[in-house]
Structure 1
Amino acid sequence: MEVFNNCPGFCPSCGSILPPLQVKGNVICYNCKEELLPEVYSGEKSEFTIQFNTYDPSKVFNRAKRESESSEADGPVVERKCPKCGNDKMSYATLQLRSADEGQTVFFTCLKCKYKESENS
Structure 2
Amino acid sequence: MEFCPKCKSLMYPKEGEMSCKKCGYVKISETDKTELVSKTSRDNSDVTVLEEDTDIGLPTTNARCPECGHNLAYWWLRQLRSADESETRFFKCTKCQKTWREYD
TM-score by length of 1: 0.43
Query: Rg larger in 1 or in 2?
Result: 1
More strand by percentage: 2
